[in-house]
Chains A and B, each alone.
Chain A
Amino acid sequence: MSWRKLNRWIHRELGFLFFGMTIIYGISGIALNHSVARHWNPGLITKATSIQYPGTLQKADVDRATIEKILELTGEKENYKQYYFPNEDHLMIYLKGGHITVDLPTGSMQLTKIRNRPVFQELNYLHYNKPKKLWTWFSDLYALGLVLIAISGLFLIKGRKGITGRGGILTIIGILIPLALLIVYLWL
């Protein structure tokens, strides 16, 4: 078998084998990028609703009956956990799957429901290597496979469109972009 044939074989077989892993790391990579940049939280879905308490409240007046009334108004009686006062003007009622924040002087309440974001939560679980154990080894194998796929990809085509032609220029551009951004953000 010539080295070019072997190269194509490596690229094709590893490409098939690690298709699923590339999708997992690609999608969760975008999610984590934006999580770090604080654009959104890929692991959680948060929904906030504003509700008005009839009247105003004072910390000293809040008792179990007040809590019951708030839970009834928000329809969260079944989900009640505990409450506490973050400060003199606010009451926080914890629920299974969220919380209610009450602004005591105005009586304005915010019901926040929090739930896990399907798919992304699972993908991030894998991307962050939370399972450890076997996943560490399989993802290491994938990373090694990705390096081999990249290197073998350089030599798939001969001639004008290959590494000695347009392919080479694109490869250099792909190396220079992260290098330039690294210089700008880290060293300048």
Chain B
Amino acid sequence: MQRSILWVLIAFLAVSCNQTVNKEGDNQEASKTEQIISATIVELLAAPADYQDKEVAVSGMVTHVCKHGGQKCFIVADDGETQIRIVPGGDIDEFKVEMEGSTIAFKGTFRVQTAVLAEEQLEDYESKEHHEEEQSHSSAEKAEYFLEAVDFKEVTQ
């Protein structure tokens, strides 16, 4: 029995070592430098075609984080009204509810949804978090524009 447990542990460690090599490869990939455009939420939404699929940096106060898995959050512009949806990308697994009320600077890719993406997002909207009443972020939730964030940093609290 001791021998068999030893084999299990050896197999486990062998697989783990292989994973470390892959991680190094990922890091090299991530180190590629790309040009990042700094923009406000209003600027992004005023001319979405100019920013489509480009790396952008945008900041704002987080008004809402999806409580069912943290797979989206919303930030509001300085006008206090315009909001944009942020979804996790890259190494970000989820957004924490603690982010609500904090001003966060996000870096990521500005996406304009295709028909396929829009359909997927609609399914997500209906299945993950559906509010009975219209919320201030509802239009941003259903909007065809969003930011796929790969990094974020709290600016103030």
Which A residues are closer than 8 A to B by beta carbons?
Answer: 13, 17, 35-36, 38, 41, 43-44, 81-82, 84-87, 92, 94-97, 99, 114, 128, 130, 133-134, 136-138, 141
Which B residues are closer than 8 A to A by beta carbons?
Answer: 1, 4-5, 8, 11-12, 15-16, 19, 61, 63, 67-68, 76, 80, 93-94, 97-98, 100-103, 127, 135-136, 157
Q: Residue of B at shortest CB range from A138? A: B12
From A86, A99, A136, contact of B100 by CB (8 A): A99
Q: Are A81 and B4 also in contact (CB < 8 A) when A44-B97, A95-B101, A137-B19 are?
A: no
A38 to B126, CA, bound (A): 12
10 inter-chain pairs at a CB distance below 8 angstroms, sorted by A residue, are A38-B68, A86-B63, A92-B63, A94-B61, A95-B101, A99-B100, A99-B101, A128-B93, A134-B16, A137-B15
B135 touching A86, Cβ below 8 Å: yes
A137 touching B63, Cβ below 8 Å: no
Q: Which of B8, B67, B80, B101 lies at the interface centre, i.e. has the most chain A CB atoms within 10 A of its CB?
A: B101
Q: Closest 3 A-B residue pairs measured CB to CB?
A: A94-B101, A86-B136, A81-B101
Q: Is the interface of A mostly helix, strand, loop or mixed?
A: mixed
A128 to B15, CA, bound (A): 20
A94 to B61, CA, bound (A): 10
B101 touching A133, Cβ below 8 Å: no
A130 to B5, CA, bound (A): 26
B103 touching A82, Cβ below 8 Å: yes
Q: Residue of A at shortest CB range from B81? A: A85
B93 touching A130, Cβ below 8 Å: yes
A35 touching B68, Cβ below 8 Å: yes
A69 to B135, CA, bound (A): 26
A99 to B101, CA, bound (A): 8
A84 touching B61, Cβ below 8 Å: yes
